[in-house]
C-alpha cells in the first residue's frame, strides 16, 4: 500500500510539472523582456538554435502545441520464403567400370575400384538441417569406404518397361532437369541435406559411394540422385555416367506414369557419353542398347546389344537383352536364336525366365531351336560309384537325366547335374562290394574310406576312449581329388554318455564309438557344442 501511494503521488507531480512547463514556453510580448527567455537588452542571449530533426512521417505533430497523438503501428507484409538452391558438388572420376549383375535387364552399377579424392562443392549453399537418414548414410558410407565393402558388384533389378513411343531421336534432355525432378520427389529438406552431406564427406567417400550403398536396397531414386551428382561433373568418368543412366531407366521403369520421359532421354544421353569414352565396354553397351530400345531407336538398340554379346559372349543377360532389341525391331527369328543362346548358357537364370513371357512372338522359333540344341547328359555311368549301391544310384541318375532332357526341350527349368555319390557313415561300417569302400574299426579307433565314381577319395577317422558309460573322442574328415588335391573338414570332437546299463556288449559298442542309446555333446569346425540324442550314432533329436 505504501509503495502504491508513492507511485500515485509521483505520477500526479509529473502531470502538474508538465502543465507548468507548457505555460513557461508559451510566448507573451507584454512581460518578461529582461528575464531569461525575454527580448530586453539585459536578457541572457540563448545559444544558437540547432535545426530540429524532421519528425517521422508516422508521428504527426499537434498544431496547437499539445502532445502528439499516439502513432498507430504500420502493418508489415508477411515475409516470403526464399527459394533454396540445390548446388551439386563436382565429384572426382572413378576407374573404368566392370560387368554388372546377371539376373536383370539392367546390370548392377559399375563399382569404383579405387578411392578417389574428396569431392569439392561446386558452390556454397546455406546450411541445411541434417536428417537421421543423411546422418546414417554418411556414417555407413565412411564405414564402407574404410572396410572396402562400399561397392556392389551384383544385384537384381526389375526388367522395366519396353519402348516409349513418340521419342524417335535424341533431344539432348539435360541431366540437371532429372536431378531437379528427383529432388522434388524427396521429403522436404532431404535433397538439401544430401547436398550438405556431400560437401562434408571425408576423404575417399564420394557421391558414387553413397549410390552404391543405396542401389542394393532398391532405393533407385536416391541412388540415381547420387550417381547423377557424380555424373554432372565436366570431367565425369564413364562409370559415373553409366551408373546414372542405368538407374534413371530403372526409376522410370518402376513408375512410368509418375516420371516424365525425359528420364529415358537423359539416360540415353549419359550412356552415349559413357560409350564415347569407353566404346568397347559390354556393360555400357548393354545399358545403352536398353535405353535406345525404350526410346524406340530399334536399329541403335540392335547394334549396341549385338556389340555387347560380341564382347562378352558368355553373359546370358546380354543375350536376353539382345533378344528384346531384335523382337522390338520385328526380327522374331533372331530373337529366338538369342534366347536359345541364353538358354544354353544359363537355362535357369532369372534373366531368361523374365524375358521369355515378354516375347511371345519368338516362342515358336525358340521351341524349335531348343529341340535342336538340348543335350542334357549327367554322365551317370562315370560319376556313380562302382558298387551295388552305386549301381542303384545310377538307375535313378538316368531317370533324372531323361526328365531333364524333356524339360529342356519344352523350355522349362531343369537340373544340369546330378549328385551320384555315397556318403561316409555316421554309424555302422562300409562293406566292400555293397559299398564303394571299406571300414577299419578297433576299440578306440575307426576309419572309413570311400572311392567315388569320378576318382575322389573320402576318409573319416575317429579316435578316443571310454570309462564306464562316458566316452570322449576326436574326429575329422579328409578328401582327395585328382584335380583339386587334399582337403580336410568336420574337425572336432565331443563327449558321449551311454544311457543303457553297463554290460560287456554296451562297453564294446562304446569303445567302438557306437553306444546303443546315448546323449552326445559335439562341436565341429569350431562351432558351439550341439546336444544330440542318438542310437548307434543315428540321430533322434538335437538342440
DSSP string computed for 2-37: HHHHHHHHHHHHHHHHHHHHHHHSS--TTS-SSSTT
Segment 78-104 shows an average pLDDT of 38
Give whichever of 97-106, 196-205, 233-242, 319-328 has the largest mean pLDDT.
319-328
Last residue of a domain, one of 270, 297, 324: 297
Kindly state whether residue 312 falls inside one of the protein's structural domains: no
Contacts of 474 (CB under 8 A, 6+ apart): 462, 463, 464, 492, 493
Answer yes or no: is 45 within a domain.
no
In a domain, 252, yes or no: yes
Query: Do 418 and 405 form a contact (C-beta atoms < 8 A)?
Result: no
Q: What is the pLDDT of residue 510?
A: 78
User: What is the pLDDT, as a whole number, of residue 390?
Assistant: 94
Q: What CA–CA distances, in Å, run from 497 to 384, 443, 534, 537? A: 38, 16, 10, 12
Task: Specify the higher pLDDT residue, 55 or 507.
Answer: 507
The pLDDT value recorded for residue 341 is 94
Q: How high is the pLDDT of residue 12? A: 41
User: In this predicted model, what pLDDT tens digit does every residue of 117-135 receive, in sequence order?
Assistant: 333 333 333 444 444 444 5
Contact (CB, 8 A) for 197 and 226: no
The rounded percent of the chain whose pLDDT value lies above 90 is 44
pLDDT for residue 172 is more than 50: no
Res 293 pLDDT > 90: yes
> Nearest to residue 264, comparing CAs of 282, 281, 247, 278?
247
8 A C-beta contact, residue 520 and residue 540: no
**Buried-state track 472-494, b at ≥16 Cβ within 10 A, e below 16:** ebebbbbbeeeeeeeeeeeebbb
φ, ψ dihedrals at 270, nearest 5°: -65, -40
Is residue 343 scored above 70 in pLDDT?
yes
Question: Looking at residues 8-24, what average pLDDT do you find?
Answer: 39
Residues 155/101, Cβ–Cβ less than 8 Å: yes
pLDDT score at 425: 87
pLDDT category of residue 25 using cuts at 50, 70 and 90: very low
In-domain check, residue 428: no
- Judged by average pLDDT, the poorest of 47-51, 309-313, 342-346 is 47-51
pLDDT at 422 over 90: yes
Q: Which of 240, 265, 297 is the last residue of a domain?
A: 297
Q: Over the chain, what is the mean pLDDT? A: 75
Under a CB-based contact definition with an 8 Å cutoff, are residues 156 and 101 in contact? yes
The answer, yes or no, to whether residue 327 has pLDDT greater than 50, is yes
The answer to whether the pTM exceeds 0.85 is: no
Kindly indicate the confidence band of residue 36, based on its pLDDT and cuts at 50, 70 and 90: very low
pLDDT, greater one: 246 or 132: 246
Q: Does residue 210 lie in a domain region?
A: yes
Measure Cα distances from 208 to 85, 240, 282, 539 in Å: 22, 7, 21, 52
Across the range 256-263, mean pLDDT stands at 88
pLDDT at 498: 87
Of 245, 272, 297, the position where a domain reaches its end is 297
470-481 and 485-498: which strand pairing?
antiparallel
Beta-strand ranges (E) seen in 285-442 are: 437-442
The CA angle 117-122-123, to the nearest 5 degrees, is 135
**pLDDT for 418:** 94
Q: Is residue 355 part of a domain?
A: no
Query: 204 is written with which cell numbers?
Result: 575417399
What pLDDT is recorded for position 109? 56
pLDDT surpassing 80 at residue 462: yes
Which residue segment(s) compose the domain that 165 sits in? 94-297
pLDDT band at 137 (very low <50, low <70, confident <90, very high): low
**Residue 524 grid coordinates:** 565341429
Residue 48 pLDDT more than 60?
A: no
Strands 530-535 and 538-542: antiparallel
Is 262 part of any domain? yes
Confidence of residue 140 (pLDDT cuts 50, 70, 90): low
Which pairs from 55-62 meet CB under 8 Å and 24+ separation? Answer: none
C-alpha cell at 213: 550403398
Nearest to 229 by CA among 252, 188, 201, 257: 201
In a domain, 231, yes or no: yes
User: Does residue 443 or residue 69 have the better pLDDT?
Assistant: 443
Please check the confidence at residue 285 and state whether its pLDDT lies above 60.
yes
Tens digits of per-residue pLDDT, 497-535? 888 888 888 778 777 777 888 899 999 998 999 998 888
32 pLDDT exceeds 80?
Answer: no
Domain count, the chain: 2
Amino acid at each position: 500500500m505504501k509503495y502504491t501511494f508513492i507511485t500515485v503521488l509521483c505520477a500526479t507531480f509529473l502531470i502538474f510539472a508538465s502543465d507548468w512547463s507548457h505555460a513557461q514556453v508559451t510566448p507573451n510580448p507584454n512581460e518578461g523582456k529582461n528575464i531569461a527567455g525575454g527580448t530586453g537588452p539585459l536578457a541572457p542571449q540563448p545559444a544558437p538554435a540547432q535545426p530540429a530533426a524532421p519528425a517521422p512521417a508516422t508521428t504527426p505533430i499537434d498544431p496547437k502545441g499539445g502532445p502528439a497523438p499516439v502513432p498507430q503501428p504500420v502493418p508489415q507484409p508477411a515475409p516470403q520464403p526464399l527459394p533454396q538452391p540445390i548446388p551439386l558438388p563436382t565429384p572426382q572420376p572413378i576407374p573404368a567400370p566392370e560387368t554388372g549383375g546377371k539376373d536383370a535387364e539392367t546390370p548392377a552399377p559399375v563399382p569404383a575400384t579405387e578411392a578417389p579424392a574428396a569431392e569439392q562443392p561446386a558452390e556454397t549453399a546455406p546450411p541445411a538441417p541434417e536428417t537421421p537418414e543423411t546422418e546414417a548414410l554418411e556414417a555407413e558410407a565412411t564405414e564402407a569406404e574404410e572396410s572396402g565393402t562400399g561397392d556392389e558388384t551384383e544385384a537384381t533389378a526389375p526388367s522395366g518397361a519396353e519402348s516409349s513411343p513418340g521419342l524417335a531421336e535424341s533431344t539432348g534432355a539435360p541431366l540437371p532437369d532429372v536431378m531437379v525432378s528427383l529432388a522434388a520427389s524427396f521429403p522436404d529438406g532431404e535433397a538439401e541435406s544430401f547436398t550438405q552431406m556431400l560437401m562434408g564427406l571425408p576423404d575417399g567417400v564420394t557421391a558414387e559411394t553413397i549410390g552404391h550403398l543405396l542401389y542394393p536396397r532398391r532405393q533407385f531414386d536416391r541412388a540415381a540422385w547420387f550417381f547423377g551428382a557424380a555424373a554432372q561433373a565436366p570431367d565425369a568418368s564413364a562409370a559415373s555416367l553409366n551408373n546414372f543412366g542405368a538407374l534413371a531407366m530403372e526409376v522410370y521403369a518402376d513408375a512410368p506414369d509418375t516420371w516424365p520421359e525425359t528420364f529415358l532421354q537423359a539416360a540415353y544421353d549419359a550412356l552415349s557419353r559413357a560409350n564415347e569414352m569407353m566404346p568397347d565396354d559390354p556393360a555400357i553397351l548393354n545399358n545403352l542398347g536398353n535405353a535406345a530400345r525404350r526410346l524406340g531407336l530399334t536399329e541403335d538398340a540392335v547394334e549396341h546389344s549385338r556389340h555387347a554379346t560380341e564382347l562378352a559372349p558368355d553373359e546370358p543377360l546380354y543375350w536376353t537383352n539382345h533378344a528384346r532389341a531384335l523382337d522390338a525391331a520385328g526380327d522374331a527369328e533372331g530373337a529366338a536364336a538369342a534366347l536359345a543362346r541364353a538358354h544354353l548358357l544359363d537355362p535357369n537364370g532369372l534373366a531368361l525366365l523374365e524375358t521369355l513371357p515378354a516375347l511371345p512372338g519368338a516362342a515358336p522359333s525358340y521351341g524349335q531351336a531348343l529341340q535342336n540344341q538340348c543335350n542334357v547328359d549327367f554322365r551317370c555311368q562315370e560319376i556313380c560309384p562302382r558298387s551295388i549301391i552305386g549301381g542303384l544310384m545310377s538307375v535313378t541318375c538316368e531317370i533324372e537325366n531323361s526328365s531333364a532332357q524333356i524339360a529342356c526341350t519344352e523350355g522349362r527349368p531343369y537340373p544340369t547335374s546330378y549328385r551320384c555319390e555315397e556318403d561316409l557313415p555316421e554309424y555302422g561300417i562300409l562293406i566292400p562290394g555293397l559299398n564303394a569302400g571299406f571300414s577299419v574299426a578297433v576299440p578306440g579307433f575307426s576309419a572309413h574310406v570311400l572311392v567315388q565314381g569320378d576318382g575322389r577319395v573320402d576318409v573319416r577317422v575317429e579316435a578316443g576312449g571310454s570309462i564306464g558309460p562316458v566316452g570322449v573322442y576326436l574326429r575329422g574328415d579328409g578328401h582327395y581329388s585328382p584335380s583339386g588335391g587334399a582337403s580336410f573338414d568336420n574337425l572336432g570332437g565331443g563327449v558321449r554318455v551311454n544311457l543303457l546299463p553297463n554290460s560287456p556288449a554296451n562297453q564294446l559298442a562304446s569303445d567302438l564309438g557306437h553306444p546303443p542309446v546315448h546323449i552326445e555333446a559335439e562341436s565341429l569346425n569350431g562351432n558351439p557344442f550341439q546336444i544330440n540324442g542318438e542310437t548307434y550314432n543315428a540321430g533322434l533329436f538335437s538342440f
